[in-house]
């Protein structure tokens, strides 16, 4: 009899292995789910904490913010009829008595005043007819009506000023008037502005009437207007104030500031140059001088030579050379380019000296086109180095006439000589 233990069934082992695998997978899934739930719970908790911090910050900011200013109570509709008055002086008094601050009272009166004058302006402008598009618009507006509009504006301003005095908010206007007319007292600035506007209108009308054809009598009338303008200014300004006005806003001073920017004059230098230049400009005023007259041109050229000698005596040789250089358009342009491109201060002088050197060398190469071509290429390359690509392009376009003349000379054996600086 065989007593050995029976062998296990061949089906048992695979079944147990499958069960274990299933249990293992279930365990892993459960662990992954717990990890996912834990991470999600952590994110939710972190988000809740962040939101709580933000809510606390909002609450703190709200607590620290100033309380909102409540809007003013509405004005009962019956108040205005009790305050309104045709007499604007009395209206201003009523507003002040009702507790209106002076600034608000002024604004109310100004609004009432504007309504009255707007009606008058609208009636005046409604009569103005524009010329048809196919006709000249040399004078698109009736000058008499323009003068009347200006008179209405002044009348309106004077009425308001008579009731309240000078406008305390006119500081901005005075600032710009000082920039134009000089550092003058406020009451003088207003008078100067009116004189300037009046004579500007008359000069504009005279030129419009001339239609681009200035007859001798037109020039005489312009000269007369300038003389009368000067007389009116002298009547309201002291001699010192008139000098301040001239140094700030005269045509001579305005041109000098533009032409002498690269010269950078001191105050004594500017005053000395201005005195000499103003005498010259008054003698040869472009508005009143006929430069088609050959005799007048010869007289002006002789006066220019005298003026240059006077400038040398005033400035000395070294500063006079700087002064003459600053008159050269190419030097002024190079100075502006150098300033804009933040290049060294001596850049403009280097460009100016390069021009002088190249022009001088070109004079000896007049009959050698190949050498002139080489010289032109050398000059163009050095300008590129000095001013950079962008700056050099602008310089060559606006002040490169001497370069183009050099290039033309290179294409012709007997080409014209380039112009020297200042010539």
pLDDT digits (tens, 9 = 90+) for 265-275: 999 999 999 99
Q: Region 306-312: what's the mean pLDDT?
A: 94
pLDDT of residue 3: 47
Over residues 251-268, the mean pLDDT reads 91
- Tell me the Cα Rg of the chain: 42
What pLDDT is recorded for position 168? 63
Complete DSSP assignment for 126-137: HT--PPPTTS--
pLDDT digits (tens, 9 = 90+) for 48-94: 555 665 666 666 665 655 556 555 555 566 778 888 888 889 988 98
Mean pLDDT of 223-230: 90
**Residues near 139 by Cβ (< 8 Å), separated by ≥ 6?**
208, 209
Range ranked top by mean pLDDT from 95-109, 193-207, 263-277, 358-372: 263-277
Q: Above pLDDT 90, what percent of the chain?
A: 29
By mean pLDDT, which of 61-75, 216-230, 276-290, 323-337 is the weakest? 61-75
> Does residue 130 surpass a pLDDT of 80?
no
Residue 73 token pair: 């109570």
> Which pLDDT band holds residue 238 (cuts at 50, 70, 90)?
very high
Q: Where along the chain do its domains lie? A: 250-327, 332-411
- Per-residue pLDDT for 264 more than 80? yes
* Mean pLDDT of the residues in the chain: 79
The pLDDT value recorded for residue 65 is: 56
**Long-range CB contacts (within 8 A, 24+) of 118-126:** 120/152, 121/149, 121/152, 124/148, 124/149, 124/152, 125/149
DSSP-assigned letters across all residues of 322-377: HHHHHT-HHHHHHHHHHHHTT--TTHHHHHHHHHHHHHHHHHTTTT-HHHHHHHHH
What pLDDT is recorded for position 305? Answer: 93
Q: Which residue has the tokens 């010269």?
A: 263
Q: Which of 19-23, 29-33, 284-288, 386-390 is predicted most confidently?
A: 386-390
| Range 29-44 average pLDDT | 50
334: Cβ contacts below 8 Å, ≥ 6 apart: 347, 348, 351, 352, 387, 395, 399
Cβ 315 vs Cβ 269: under 8 Å: yes
Does residue 289 surpass a pLDDT of 60?
yes
pLDDT higher than threshold 50 for residue 294: yes
In the prediction, which pLDDT does 199 show?
87
Query: Is the model more confident about 287 or about 214?
Result: 214
Look up residue 247 and give its two tokens. 């140094």
């Amino acid at each position: 009899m065989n007593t050995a233990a029976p062998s296990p069934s061949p089906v048992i082992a695979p079944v147990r292995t499958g069960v274990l695998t299933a249990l293992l997978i279930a365990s892993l899934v459960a662990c992954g789910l717990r990890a996912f739930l834990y991470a999600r719970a952590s994110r939710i908790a972190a988000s809740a904490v962040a939101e709580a911090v933000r809510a606390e910050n909002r609450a703190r900011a709200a607590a620290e913010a100033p309380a909102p200013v409540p809007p003013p109570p509405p004005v009962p509709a019956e108040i205005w009829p009790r305050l309104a008055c045709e007499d604007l002086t009395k209206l201003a008094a009523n507003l002040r008595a009702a507790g209106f601050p002076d600034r608000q009272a002024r604004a109310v009166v100004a609004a009432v005043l504007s309504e009255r004058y707007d009606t008058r302006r609208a009636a005046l402008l409604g009569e103005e007819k524009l010329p048809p598009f196919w006709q000249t618009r040399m004078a698109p507006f009736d000058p008499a009506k323009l003068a009347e509009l200006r008179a209405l504006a002044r009348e309106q301003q004077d009425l308001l000023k008579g009731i309240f005095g000078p406008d305390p908010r006119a500081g901005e206007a005075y600032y710009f008037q000082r920039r134009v007319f000089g550092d003058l007292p406020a009451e003088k600035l207003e008078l100067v502005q009116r004189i300037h506007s009046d004579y500007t209108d008359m000069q504009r009308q005279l030129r419009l009437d001339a239609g681009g054809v200035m007859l001798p009598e037109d020039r005489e009338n312009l000269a007369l207007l300038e003389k009368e303008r000067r007389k009116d200014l002298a009547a309201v300004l002291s001699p010192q104030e008139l000098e301040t006005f001239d140094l700030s806003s005269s045509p001579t001073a305005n041109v000098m500031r533009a032409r002498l920017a690269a010269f950078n004059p001191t105050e004594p230098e500017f005053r000395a140059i201005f005195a000499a230049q103003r005498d010259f400009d008054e003698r040869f005023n472009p508005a009143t001088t006929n430069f088609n007259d050959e005799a007048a041109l010869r007289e002006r050229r002789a006066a220019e030579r005298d003026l240059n000698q006077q400038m040398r005596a005033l400035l000395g040789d070294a500063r006079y050379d700087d002064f003459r250089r600053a008159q050269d358009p190419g030097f002024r342009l190079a100075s502006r380019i150098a300033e804009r491109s933040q290049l060294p201060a001596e850049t403009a002088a280097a460009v100016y000296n390069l021009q002088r050197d190249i022009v001088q060398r070109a004079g000896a190469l007049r009959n050698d086109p190949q050498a002139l071509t080489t010289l032109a290429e050398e000059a163009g390359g050095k300008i590129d180095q000095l001013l950079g690509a962008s700056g050099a392009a602008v310089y060559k376009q606006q002040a490169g006439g001497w370069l183009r003349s050099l290039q033309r000379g290179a294409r012709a054996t007997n080409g014209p000589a380039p112009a020297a600086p200042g010539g």
